[in-house]
């Protein structure tokens, strides 16, 4: 009896005690995990999404997509030398481990991100040098004036030089070849949250950084974040409906109605800065995965044109995406500088014309090829691939579908072992150059790292490089237009659609959809 | 022999459970075998699919195309009735082939262990003991993973079914080996076996011609029960996404696809394949149980 009384007293005291502690835990779920904690090893959305909580760039995009100061408080191109950008750093910032954030860390981080194994190097092509001016001032010099340099720095995270070097991680992790490093499993940033524990693909726990510089400037109402990747769409929805998680970043389109109709949940919808498309290796002399000997069917532009016509983007929108997509004819979301309605026009689905193009190219009887597809990265990625298999089948191309988790899919593209693949591309710089430099430029050196198509056009390459130092913005836009016309004419990629984001959360959460699908939880507040 | 036969037939006729389950199994096997003639569409032919037919409810016209399907369509516009018939084919083929493999392996190892005795016996039976401590689905997944690692990615699609058979077959042999070994231990001491050995027959001939016939009945009973297990194992692996590819769905793959649409109200994509699997596994199981009770009460 006394025990019971004691237990009752204890539970009452717990009930009273609970509201006194202002601890708000946010349980966050999405289909896939961050690929690595090394902030320079993978230029990939979900990887950056987690990194943005732990690490910070010099400047960043807020929840509306606008550039705001991060670790730099101001920046300007020098008047006497337009090739140099000067950054004034924030004073008094400390890393999670207690180290001071200084200009040395910036110099170290930018140089690290330009190393061979860094996946961020493509954003820093124009950077020739980075110099410390004093403890809180850094100069970044570009080859020729680059008016858009700051757009390339929004995902360039700053690491502590001492911590990174003493833990043997001075060189970014070689992700595509399966390397593991200390910095890939641990984090020491300046971000609003610090790492408590992490089991990749299972659970990552973060807690609020008590010494964060932005205390008072941001809501910072979340004190703990529990991030759980849930690959199965049905399980993800079930977790949200049952209250097991508070925020799901990628609710399956078929369940939007159900979630929105649930009284304590809401869905927030916005267009995403991300385009989904297929790439095919048109540069190889002979494909390994096809049944055509001695030549590469993708090398013939007529085959690519036929494929582009065979993909029924409206059907994919209506059935697979349930209206939640924006079909497109160009691998560029409307947010991006260079986008025009004419480029966006989707190719007319003319099956007879497509078949005659196939016959003209000498593939009237079709051919066979393997399509590699992720199954936990994009909205309904595997279902889109399946639908495409059927559509290409109608013009005689027999496609074997190989769908895998993104951790196995992306290395196929980066190691150039896939010959036909799905990829999605977000444009953090909001400028066409980013697309060209990663996906269109000949894949060599630090350019074209994600161009697995084998497409190589010297004129186009030269125009892409010229964009980096063109200060006359009208002339620059004209060059962008010329490059796009060439890309469209050569059917380098098969665009499908731009994604529409549907973030689902508890009704008491105030959180805007970020067009890059990057939740910055420091902005989240509760009603 | 004929007396045994008529006893068996008599017992069968007297058991409604046996009659019904045998009838259902026959019906499903026939449906699977003749699927190309019964099914209105070939669901493996991706080129014949019309995506706009996707998510059509059973017996209701599609909003875009106006076509009607008996059991509705799945997310890719595949006629579910056809997909189930073809999926049944994959499931039954994998099931029978895996049981044949397990049976061959188990009978051979059991005979060898029982007849040879000594360290051969110890080695084989301890291997069996170790394997039996793990759930067979775990073993199947392990073998599947190793096989996937050994095979070049380009061939995986073609070999997926073969790997499935191999992994289920290798995970189910223990039951056969144990039963056969037990019978062999008893039989090998009998006079007719001793006589055969004295005549100078080689051990293989003694095992196959003299001892094996004694174990056919229990082996057949175990084979039937294992068939139900193998069908479920295939469905489980495919449900987990490591079995039959989505372009050549088995019942398990269809259930996996359907599971995604349970919350959104497209119940038929999950329900019909699941019901078919339930019916198949239940009737094979009931038939196996009845066979065991009738033919070999010792196995109870």
B267 touches chain A (CB under 8 A): no
CA nearest to A118, candidates A452, A445, A519, A461: A445
Q: What is the CATH number of the domain that holds A373?
A: 3.10.105.10
**Average pLDDT score over residue span A341-366:** 93
**What are the pLDDT digits (tens) for A157-208?**
999 999 999 999 999 999 988 899 999 999 999 999 999 999 999 999 999 9
Q: Write down the ipTM of this complex.
A: 0.74
**What whole-number distance in Å separates Cα of residue B163 and Cα of residue B168?**
9
A395 and A521 in one domain?
Answer: no
The answer to whether A278 and A308 are in contact (CB under 8 A) is no
pLDDT of residue B142: 86
A102 and A17 in one domain?
Answer: yes
Q: Do A234 and B262 touch (CB under 8 A)?
A: yes
Q: Do A318 and B45 touch (CB under 8 A)?
A: no
**What are the pLDDT digits (tens) for B160-207?**
788 889 889 988 999 999 999 998 999 888 898 889 888 888 888 888
The total domain count for chain A is: 2
User: In this complex, which of A234, A387, A402 lies closest to B260 when CB atoms are compared?
Assistant: A234
Query: B95 CA to chain A: closest CA distance, Å?
Result: 24
Q: What is the CATH number of the domain that holds A12?
A: 3.40.190.10
A205 and A301 in one domain?
Answer: no
**Average pLDDT score over residue span A519-523:** 96
What is the reported pTM? 0.82
**Average pLDDT score over residue span B206-222:** 87
pLDDT of residue A1: 43
A220 and A165 in one domain?
Answer: yes
Summary mean pLDDT of chain A: 92
Report DSSP letters for B76-102, one per residue.
Answer: T--BHHHHHHHHHHHHHHHHHHHHHHH
A281 and A219 in one domain?
Answer: no
Q: Between A and B, how many residue pairs show a Cβ–Cβ distance under 8 A?
A: 80
B75 touches chain A (CB under 8 A): yes
**Average pLDDT score over residue span A114-134:** 94
Report the 10 Å Cβ neighbour count for B210.
18
- Neighboring chain B residues of A258 at a CB cutoff of 8 Å: 263-265
B36 touches chain A (CB under 8 A): no
A163 and A112 in one domain?
Answer: yes
Q: Do B46 and A320 touch (CB under 8 A)?
A: no
A221 and A131 in one domain?
Answer: yes
Largest CA distance in chain B: 79
**What are the pLDDT digits (tens) for A489-500?**
999 999 999 999
pLDDT of residue A291: 87
Two structure tokens written together for A468 = 């980096």
**What are the pLDDT digits (tens) for A257-310?**
889 999 999 999 999 999 999 999 999 999 988 888 889 999 999 999 999 999
A117 and A34 in one domain?
Answer: yes
B262 touches chain A (CB under 8 A): yes
Two structure tokens written together for A354 = 């497509």
**What are the pLDDT digits (tens) for B129-171?**
998 888 878 888 888 888 877 776 556 666 778 888 988 998 8
Domains, in order of start, for chain B: 17-34+78-299 (1.10.3720.10)
A238 and A169 in one domain?
Answer: yes
- Split at pLDDT 50, 70, 90, the class of B4 is low
By residue range, what is the domain housing residue A385?
272-500
Q: Do B64 and A320 touch (CB under 8 A)?
A: no
**What are the pLDDT digits (tens) for B77-135?**
889 999 999 999 999 999 999 999 999 999 999 999 999 989 999 999 999 999 888 88
* Collapsed DSSP state (helix, strand, coil) of residue A89: strand
A487 and A436 in one domain?
Answer: yes
- Neighboring chain B residues of A390 at a CB cutoff of 8 Å: 46-47, 49, 51, 76-77
pLDDT of residue B5: 64
Q: Do B51 and A319 touch (CB under 8 A)?
A: yes
Q: Do B264 and A258 touch (CB under 8 A)?
A: yes
A294 and A407 in one domain?
Answer: yes
Q: Do A390 and B76 touch (CB under 8 A)?
A: yes
CA nearest to A512, candidates A209, A39, A61, A68: A61
Two structure tokens written together for B275 = 């019901």
A138 and A40 in one domain?
Answer: yes
């Amino acid at each position: 009896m006394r025990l019971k009384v004691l237990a009752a007293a204890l539970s009452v005291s717990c009930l009273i005690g609970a509201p006194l502690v202002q601890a708000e835990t946010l349980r966050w779920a999405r289909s896939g995990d961050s690929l690595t904690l090394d902030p320079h090893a993978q230029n990939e959305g979900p990887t950056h999404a987690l990194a943005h909580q732990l690490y910070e760039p010099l400047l960043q995009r807020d929840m509306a997509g606008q550039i705001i100061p991060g670790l730099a408080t101001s920046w300007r191109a020098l008047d006497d030398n337009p090739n140099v950008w000067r950054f004034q750093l924030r004073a008094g910032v400390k890393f999670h481990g207690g180290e001071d954030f200084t200009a040395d860390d910036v110099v170290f981080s930018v140089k690290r991100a330009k190393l061979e194994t860094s996946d961020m190097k493509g954003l820093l092509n124009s950077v020739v040098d980075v110099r410390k001016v004093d403890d809180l001032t850094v100069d970044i010099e570009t080859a020729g004036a680059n008016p858009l340099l700051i757009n390339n720095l929004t995902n360039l995270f700053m690491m502590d030089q001492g911590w990174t070097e003493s833990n043997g991680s001075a060189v970014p992790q070689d992700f595509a070849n399966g390397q593991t490093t200390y910095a890939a499993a641990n984090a020491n940033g300046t971000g609003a949250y610090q790492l408590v524990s992490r089991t990749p693909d299972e659970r990552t726990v973060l807690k609020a950084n008590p010494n964060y510089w932005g205390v008072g400037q941001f809501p910072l109402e979340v004190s703990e974040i529990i991030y759980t990747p849930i690959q199965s769409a049905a399980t993800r929805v079930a977790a949200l409906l049952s209250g097991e998680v508070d925020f799901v970043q990628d609710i399956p389109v078929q369940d939007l109605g159900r979630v929105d109709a649930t009284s304590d949940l809401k869905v927030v919808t916005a267009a995403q800065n991300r385009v989904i498309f297929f790439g095919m290796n048109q540069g190889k002399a002979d494909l390994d995965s096809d049944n055509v000997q001695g030549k590469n069917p993708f090398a013939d532009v007529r085959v690519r044109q036929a494929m582009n016509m065979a993909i029924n983007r409206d059907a994919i929108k209506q059935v697979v995406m349930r209206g939640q997509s924006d079909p497109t004819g160009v691998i560029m979301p409307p947010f991006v500088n260079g986008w025009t309605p004419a480029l966006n026009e989707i190719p007319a689905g003319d099956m007879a014309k497509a078949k005659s193009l196939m016959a003209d190219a000498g593939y009237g009887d079709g051919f066979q090829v393997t399509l590699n597809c992720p199954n936990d990265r994009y909205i309904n990625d595997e279902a889109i691939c399946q639908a495409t298999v059927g559509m290409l089948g109608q013009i005689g191309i027999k496609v074997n579908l190989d769908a895998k988790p993104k951790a196995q899919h992306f290395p196929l593209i980066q190691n150039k072992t896939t010959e036909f693949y799905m990829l999605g591309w977000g444009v953090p710089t909001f400028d066409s150059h980013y697309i060209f430099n990663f996906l269109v430029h000949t894949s060599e050196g630090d350019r074209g790292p994600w161009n697995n198509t084998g497409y190589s056009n010297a004129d186009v390459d030269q125009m892409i490089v010229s964009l980096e130092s063109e200060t006359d913005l009208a002339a620059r836009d004209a060059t962008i237009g010329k490059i796009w016309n060439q890309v469209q004419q050569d059917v380098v990629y098969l665009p499908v659609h731009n994604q529409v984001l549907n973030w689902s959360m508890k009704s008491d959460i105030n959180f805007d959809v970020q067009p890059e699908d990057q939740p910055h939880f420091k902005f989240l507040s509760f009603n | 022999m004929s007396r045994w036969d008529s006893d068996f037939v008599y017992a069968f006729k007297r058991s409604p459970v046996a009659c019904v389950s045998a009838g259902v199994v026959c019906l499903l096997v026939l449906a699977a075998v003749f699927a190309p003639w019964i099914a209105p569409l070939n669901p493996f032919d991706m080129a014949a699919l019309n995506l706009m037919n996707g998510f059509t409810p059973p017996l209701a016209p599609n909003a875009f195309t106006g076509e009607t399907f008996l059991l509705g369509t799945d997310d890719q516009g595949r006629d579910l009735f056809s997909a189930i018939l073809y999926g049944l084919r994959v499931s039954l083929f994998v099931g029978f082939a895996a049981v044949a493999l397990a049976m061959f392996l188990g009978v051979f190892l059991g005979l060898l262990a029982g007849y040879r005795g000594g360290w051969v016996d110890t080695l084989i039976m301890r291997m069996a003991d170790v394997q039996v401590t793990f759930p067979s689905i775990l073993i199947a997944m392990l073998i599947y993973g190793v096989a996937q690692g050994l095979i070049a990615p380009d061939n995986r699609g073609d070999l997926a079914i073969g790997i499935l058979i191999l992994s289920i077959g290798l995970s189910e042999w223990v039951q056969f080996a144990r039963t056969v070994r037990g019978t062999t231990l008893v039989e090998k001491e009998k006079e007719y076996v001793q006589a055969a050995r004295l005549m100078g027959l080689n051990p293989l001939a003694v095992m196959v011609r003299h001892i094996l016939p004694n174990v056919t009945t229990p082996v057949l009973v175990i084979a039937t029960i294992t068939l139900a297990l193998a069908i479920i194992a295939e469905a489980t692996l495919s449900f987990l996404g490591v079995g039959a590819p989505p372009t050549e769905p088995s019942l398990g793959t269809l259930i996996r696809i359907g599971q995604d649409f349970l919350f959104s109200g497209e119940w038929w994509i999950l329900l019909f394949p699941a019901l078919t699997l339930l019916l198949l596994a239940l009737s094979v199981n009931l038939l196996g149980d009845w066979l065991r009770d009738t033919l070999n009460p010792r196995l109870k």
